[in-house]
Amino acid sequence: MDRIFSGIQPTGNLHLGNYLGAVRNWVRLQNDYECIFCIVDLHAITVPQDPAELRRTTREVAATYIAAGINPNSAVIFNQSTVSGHAELSWLLSCITPLGWLNRMTQFKDKAGKNRESVGLGLYAYPVLMAADILLYKATHVPVGEDQKQHLELARDIAIAFNRQFGEDFFPLPEPQILGTATRVMSLRDGTKKMSKSDISDYSRINLTDDAETIDLKIRKAKTDPDALPESVEGLGSRPEAANLLGIYAALTDASLGETVSRFAGVDFSRFKKDLAELAVTVLGPIAAERARLLAAPDHIDTILRHGAERANAIAAPNIAHVKELVGFLSP
């Protein structure tokens, strides 16, 4: 069976972008693939984290995976730092990754911004760790949002470089799976910026923890333009906020953008926003309730993570041992 690897950083509350770009697709794929869903805490510390918060958000992300419909009895759910192969393989791969490849990564440029000289080396090396995450399990498919496409391409290039140097076809080349109509959900405050956990404005995103009232308020306050909704998809060309909200509606109803635009053609934003808020509450409400129920029993979540780490390590250990042998490390 083909194998999926994907993950999310425990850097805060998961939001609608993480759900539509990643977790919802994982739920739909889990019966057709062998799945490994990680909480990538090693990635989280590429920017400063409060240790107590990190522990809390790690459990929260695990609970959200399960509440959204990931079955921990079939899929492997674990936190990255519990399987040492991630860090080991990351180092080995960093030794064959040219700096020029990393210099092209737009996420580093966005996240480092003006602080390029003072951010940690980990933020720069993040895509190599991501390649290691995937290749450690010889994963064949990686369901992610559009923003991770460039990192996935780098992971393929690193796999090719390793295979060329140490043995043809050792690592399969992972295929990105960028699925659905909302592969890049944008901020509610600025339709040209990605919805993100680290945006300072909570009004920029719908968190999977938001209650009905908050979702309704955030959608009502979402930035829009003065015109009514367009008659055709072409009419969304220079209207990023309208495109984003209609895209979210389309994704939440599993409709195409074209069908959704036709449905709301000529409608004013206030009426559309009311429908969108009701829909978002209907879809996200049960996930928030189940997540709260799971978090009331943190020991159960820890047991799931521990069991997941054992299963992940059972796949990773022979692969990392084989990599070390290929590289020429003696294991007396």
Q: Does 64 bind ligand AQP (CB under 6 A)?
A: no
Stretch that binds ligand AQP, among 17-25, 87-95, 250-258, 310-318 (CB under 6 A): 17-25
Instruction: State the catalytic residue, choosing from 109, 138, 149, 197.
Output: 197
Q: Is 10 in the site for ligand AQP (CB under 6 A)?
A: no
Q: At what angle do helices 298-327 and 51-68 cross, to 10 degrees?
A: 100
- Closest of 191, 183, 179 to residue 244, by C-alpha: 191
Sign of CA dihedral 140, 314, 22, 148: negative
> Which one of the listed residues 114, 194, 221, 324 is annotated catalytic?
194
Which one, 41 or 216, has the nearer CB to ligand AQP? 41
Is residue 80 at the binding interface for ligand AQP, with CB under 6 A as the rule? no
Residues with Cβ within 8 Å of 319's Cβ and at least 6 positions away in sequence, in order, are 85, 136, 137, 138
User: Which residue matches tokens 């460039």?
Assistant: 150
Site membership for ligand AQP, residue 154 (CB under 6 A): no
Site mask, ligand AQP, residues 126-145, x = CB under 6 A? Answer: ------------------xx
Q: What is the nearest approach in angstroms of ligand AQP to the Cβ of residue 145?
A: 2
Size of the site for ligand AQP (CB under 6 A): 20
Q: Where do the H-state alpha helices sit in 195-267?
A: 212-221, 240-253, 257-263
Q: Which of 3, 4, 5, 8 binds ligand AQP (CB under 6 A)?
A: 8
CB nearer to ligand AQP: pick between 182 and 323: 182
206 near ligand AQP, judged by CB under 6 A: no
How many CB atoms within 10 Å of residue 121? 9
Task: Write the CA distances from 315 to 127, 308, 320, 329, integer angstroms.
Answer: 22, 11, 9, 20
Which residues is 38 bridged to in the sheet?
7, 78
From 122-130, 132-140, 157-165, 179-187, span contacting ligand AQP (CB under 6 A):
179-187
For the chain, helix (H) and strand (E) counts, in that order, are: 14, 5
Using CB under 6 A as the binding rule, whether residue 79 contacts ligand AQP is answered as no
Measured CA distances, 288 to 13, 68, 280 (Å): 11, 9, 12
Respond yes or no: is residue 221 known to be catalytic. no
Q: Is 197 a catalytic site residue?
A: yes
Buried b or exposed e, range 25-51, using 16+ CB within 10 angstroms: bbbebbeebbbbbbbbbbbbbbbebee
Q: Is 111 a catalytic residue?
A: yes
Distances (CA, A) of 67 to 55, 229, 244, 301, 314: 18, 34, 25, 12, 26
Output the six-digit token pair for 213.
Answer: 């009232």
Considering only 13-21, 62-70, 88-96, 283-291, which stretch makes contact with ligand AQP by CB under 6 A? 13-21
Residues 6+ apart with CB under 8 A from 193: 186, 187, 199, 204
| Residue range at the interface with ligand AQP (CB under 6 A); choices 5-13, 214-222, 270-278, 283-291 | 5-13
Which of helix, strand or coil describes residue 80?
Answer: helix
- Note whether 198 binds ligand AQP by CB under 6 A: yes
Considering only 156, 194, 273, 291, the residue that binds ligand AQP (CB under 6 A) is 194
Please report whether residue 147 would count as binding ligand AQP according to CB under 6 A: yes
CB of 244 to ligand AQP, least distance (A): 10
Point out the catalytic residue in the list 111, 138, 149, 193: 111
21 binds ligand AQP (CB under 6 A): yes
Residues that bind ligand AQP (CB under 6 A): 8-9, 11, 17-18, 20-22, 144-145, 147-148, 183-185, 194-198
Query: Which residues are the active-site residues?
Result: 111, 194, 197
